[in-house]
């Protein structure tokens, strides 16, 4: 069912709790926008005078609703991601929940001690030193000086900013600021932690450390609201997610489903822009790629018509793309050509992809194997497999078979994702248009290793050398 904004009404996938960590009911936030500075002064004076003399009060501003009708609950101990493009209302929502911004309508209930790492520059006094800001943050959260003394060394060690801990924060780089802010927020063991996109400022090493710390807080039972444009982080860290678009909740549900919906929407917009760019480019300026010959496959190597019909039905809700070519079938095969749904540990497998072109294009054919969190584990494309792009013509069909000599994956559920992509230019790493993209083209299981169990996603059979030193 669609609401007045044209969005699918979100459905709660968890039962309402009697005492959730966070609860929002019909929350909205309206900002007053003024065309010129003097209109702000008029708004503060004229409506009162107009009402005083019995005339209707006039508004000298335009309403801008950053959020409309936001309702959801977050259970204690749950990690919920929030995704959406810039300007969708994510940061406004977090500020309202953390109490730094007041909603216009609706109610917000927060049960527990909350820390928030919002946009860069909030929370610390720039005139105070890092040490002073740590103690100030602790006092705001209700901790005593003695409690902060006990935590301070751990906070300083996590932030790892050296002697700058005793320098004024206004002299910090953006990375140093985020280090200290995150360390302070997470080391005080909050009941509820809100993390905005500010973590993206830190370097890669620090981001890895932050993700590990967040997982420890999850294990300790903290409730986490996590905003990120990193779809894989949302998939792996969160149990549920919320997709905001133009201030409204477009979708709420399992993190993988919501992240996929957001990725699909963003990818379709990008594809449309890239397609326009490609059509505007001059074809004569592009070097012509040699056409790959259509291979002469035996009928036994092709899927049967009924298999292709079943495939088309099963993937219809998982595909997207700009069009111009279409994947007709994809599956996993063993070395004898048999279809696989259960893959033995370290088994040799083939990825088979059949597609048909509807336009003249230069295409690459990609596949990725992803885990149950939709995180890519392995994959390839034509370039990575040392094959030229396919220059296809309308009506042609191609069968592409990738061979993976061994698949030493941890026991579990995996999915095969396949796609056809069209580079926008002939340069290396040029942006690509998703011509046809299918999530979960096939879901399969990997069996347990017969010997000792492996604990990582991939086992690479490392050799070992042990030397006794005494």
Distance CA 343, CA 439 (A): 19
The per-residue pLDDT for 310 is: 92
Per-residue pLDDT reduced to its tens digit, 201-252: 666 777 778 888 888 888 989 999 988 888 888 888 899 999 999 999 999 9
- Is it the case that residue 91 has pLDDT exceeding 90? no
- What residue ranges of the chain are covered by domains with CATH 2.70.50.60? 284-292+303-446
- DSSP 8-state assignment for residue 197: G
- Give the SS3 label for residue 215: helix
The domain defined by 284-292+303-446 folds into Coagulation Factor XIII; Chain A, domain 1 (2.70.50)
Q: Average per-residue pLDDT in the chain?
A: 85
Confidence of residue 286 (pLDDT cuts 50, 70, 90): very low
Backbone angles phi, psi at 358, to 5 degrees: -115, -15
For residue 7, what are the CA distances in angstroms to 14, 88, 249, 370, 382? 20, 14, 8, 29, 38
Selection from 438, 259, 317 nearest residue 366 by Cα? 438
- What residue ranges of the chain are covered by domains with CATH 3.40.50.300? 22-112+191-261
Distance CA 224, CA 233 (A): 13
Distance CA 98, CA 96 (A): 5
The per-residue pLDDT for 285 is: 43
Per-residue pLDDT reduced to its tens digit, 294-351: 444 454 578 889 999 999 998 888 888 989 999 999 999 999 989 999 999 999 999 9
Selection from 48, 66, 62 nearest residue 104 by Cα? 66
- Is it the case that residue 160 has pLDDT exceeding 80? yes
Beta partners for residue 415, in sequence order: 370, 443
- DSSP 8-state assignment for residue 360: -
Backbone angles phi, psi at 51, to 5 degrees: -70, -35
Provide the CA 302 distance to its chain's centre, in angstroms: 36
Residues 6+ apart with CB under 8 A from 156: 165, 183
Distance CA 288, CA 291 (A): 9
Global pTM reads 0.76
Where do the DSSP E strands lie in 408-458?
A: 412-423, 432-446
The per-residue pLDDT for 415 is: 93
Q: At what angle do helices 174-187 and 204-219 cross, to 10 degrees?
A: 10
The domain defined by 22-112+191-261 folds into Rossmann fold (3.40.50)
């Amino acid at each position: 069912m669609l609401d007045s904004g044209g969005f699918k009404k979100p459905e709660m996938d968890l039962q309402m709790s009697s005492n959730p960590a966070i609860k929002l009911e019909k929350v909205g936030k309206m900002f007053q926008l003024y065309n010129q500075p003097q209109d702000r002064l008029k708004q503060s004076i004229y409506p009162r005078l107009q009402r005083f003399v019995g005339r209707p009060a006039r508004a000298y501003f335009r309403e801008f609703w950053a959020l409309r009708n936001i309702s959801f609950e977050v259970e204690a101990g749950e990690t919920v991601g929030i995704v959406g493009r810039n300007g969708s209302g994510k940061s406004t929502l977090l500020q309202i929940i953390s109490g730094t911004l007041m909603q216009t309508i609706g109610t917000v209930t927060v049960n527990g001690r909350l820390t928030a790492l919002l946009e860069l520059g909030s929370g610390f006094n720039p005139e105070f030193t890092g040490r002073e800001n740590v103690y100030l943050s602790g006092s705001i959260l209700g901790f005593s000086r003695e409690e902060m003394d006990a935590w301070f060394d751990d906070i300083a060690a996590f932030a790892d900013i050296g002697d700058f801990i005793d320098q004024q924060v206004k002299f910090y780089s953006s990375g140093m600021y985020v280090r200290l802010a995150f360390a302070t927020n997470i080391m005080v063991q909050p009941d509820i932690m809100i993390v905005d996109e500010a973590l993206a400022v830190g370097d890669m090493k620090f981001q890895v450390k932050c993700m590990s710390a967040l997982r420890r807080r999850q294990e300790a039972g903290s409730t986490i609201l996590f905003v990120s444009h990193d779809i894989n982080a949302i998939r792996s860290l969160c149990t549920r997610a919320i997709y905001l678009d133009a201030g409204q909740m477009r979708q709420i549900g399992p993190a993988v489903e919501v992240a996929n919906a957001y990725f699909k929407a963003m990818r379709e917009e990008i594809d449309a822009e890239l397609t326009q760019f490609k059509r505007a480019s001059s074809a004569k300026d592009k070097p012509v790629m040699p056409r790959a010959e259509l291979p002469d496959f035996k009928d036994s190597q092709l899927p049967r018509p009924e298999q292709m019909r079943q495939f088309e039905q099963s993937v219809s809700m998982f595909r997207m793309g700009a069009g111009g070519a279409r994947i007709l079938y994809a599956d996993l095969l063993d070395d004898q050509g048999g279809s696989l749904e259960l893959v033995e540990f370290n088994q040799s497998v083939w990825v088979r992809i059949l597609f048909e072109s509807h336009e003249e294009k230069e295409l690459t054919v990609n596949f990725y194997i992803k885990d149950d969190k939709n995180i890519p584990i392995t994959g390839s494309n034509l370039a990575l497999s040392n094959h030229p792009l396919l220059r296809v013509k309308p009506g042609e069909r191609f069968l592409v078979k990738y061979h993976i000599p061994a698949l030493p994956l941890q026991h579990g559920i995996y999915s095969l994702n396949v796609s056809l992509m069209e580079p926008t230019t002939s340069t290396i790493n040029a942006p690509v248009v998703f011509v046809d993209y299918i999530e979960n083209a096939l879901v399969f299981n990997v069996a347990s290793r017969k010997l000792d169990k492996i604990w990582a996603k991939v086992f690479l059979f490392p050799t070992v050398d042990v030397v006794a030193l005494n």
